[in-house]
Amino acid sequence: MAGIKLKSEDDLKLMRPACVIAGQVLDEITAFIRPGLTTRQVDNFAAEQMKAHGAKSAFLGYRKYPCHTCISVNEEVVHGLANERELRFGDIVSVDVGVTYKGFIGDNARTIAVGGCGVQAQRLMEVTETALYKGIAAAVNGNRVTDISRTIQEYVEGNGFSVVREFVGHGVGRSMHEEPQVPNFVDQKMNDKLRPGMTIAIEPMVNAGRPEVKILKDGWTVVTQDGSLSAHFEHTVLITEGEPEILTICPTLSKLKVA
């Protein structure tokens, strides 16, 4: 608990636009993705958009991570590296965007169908996204991290899918990974109390089959052990006195001057 950094209004003046930009870049990538593009072209496009918004990738160089975004296709769970692979109609691609702007980080992700996708993939994406929003709804003052974790886990498993254990959500602010950790399964060791001013990235990673994952020889790409499809949705969220606030979505975007 001691290490949790509560954000002041002054911090939020910088962190809000960082998160808005992260959301905008993810929206721009979503609109850009189509069959035939390589994941490298998607990553390059993301880098251009970040630059256009006056922001930088929070991932590039983090523990020597070599790309601007994480692009994980089909059975890839997270941390997929951009390369010469061409996206094909029917693929599902999880794109994770973290940007640094004025010293703060905004972090968000979503899984996108390339042109269209199968029924199971569609249901997997829907369940994962709904799990995220249910988890966010549990992110209220006085609740604990496990209330978020349990909400996500029960919804996902109730729909016949599984949650990844090896990677978890996290506090986010001036650093990409701050306390607390926010697992998508109940773990009493990660059970901090939620307080106004906390900013956390909630990010269910959901497998269609079994929960186990492995890391490929590139040292980064996480894939499902059983080869089943995986989806990932993430938002940066502010705990308030009232309802949680999703910082990486901005309905009043047009009124906000971010650049």
Contact indicator for 236, 108 with CB cutoff of 8 Å:
yes
Residue 106 β-bridge partners: 99
Report how far residue 239's alpha carbon sits from residue 242's, in angstroms, rounded to the nearest whole number: 8
Structure-token pair, residue 178: 């701050």
Q: Which stretch binds ligand MF3 (CB under 6 A): 11-19, 61-69, 86-94, 144-152?
A: 61-69
Check binding of 201 to Co ion (CB under 5 A): yes
Question: Which residues 89-128 are close enough to bind ligand MF3 by CB under 6 A?
Answer: 96, 98, 107
Task: Classify residue 174 by its DSSP letter.
Answer: S
Question: 59 touches which of ligand MF3, Co ion, none (CB within 5 to 8 A by kind)?
Answer: ligand MF3
Q: For residue 141, with 0-12 CB atoms within 10 Å meaning exposed, 13-18 middle and 19 or more buried, which class applies?
A: middle
Report how far residue 245's alpha carbon sits from residue 23's, in angstroms, rounded to the nearest whole number: 14
Check binding of 18 to ligand MF3 (CB under 6 A): no
Binder of ligand MF3 out of 47, 50, 70, 213 (CB under 6 A): 70
Q: How far is the CB of 202 from ligand MF3 (least distance, A)?
A: 11
Report how far residue 51's alpha carbon sits from residue 40's, in angstroms, rounded to the nearest whole number: 17
Q: What is the distance of C-alpha 198 from the center of its chain?
A: 17
Question: Which residues 62-121 are close enough to bind Co ion by CB under 5 A?
Answer: 107
Q: How far is the CB of 60 from ligand MF3 (least distance, A)?
A: 8
Q: Which stretch binds ligand MF3 (CB under 6 A): 11-19, 55-63, 140-148, 188-196?
A: 55-63
Return the number of the residue (47 or 132) whose C-beta is nearest Co ion: 132
Instruction: Give the residue at shortest CB distance from ligand MF3.
Output: 65
Report how far residue 245's alpha carbon sits from residue 236's, in angstroms, rounded to the nearest whole number: 9
Q: Which residues bind ligand MF3 (CB under 6 A)?
A: 59, 62-63, 65, 70, 79, 96, 98, 107, 170, 201
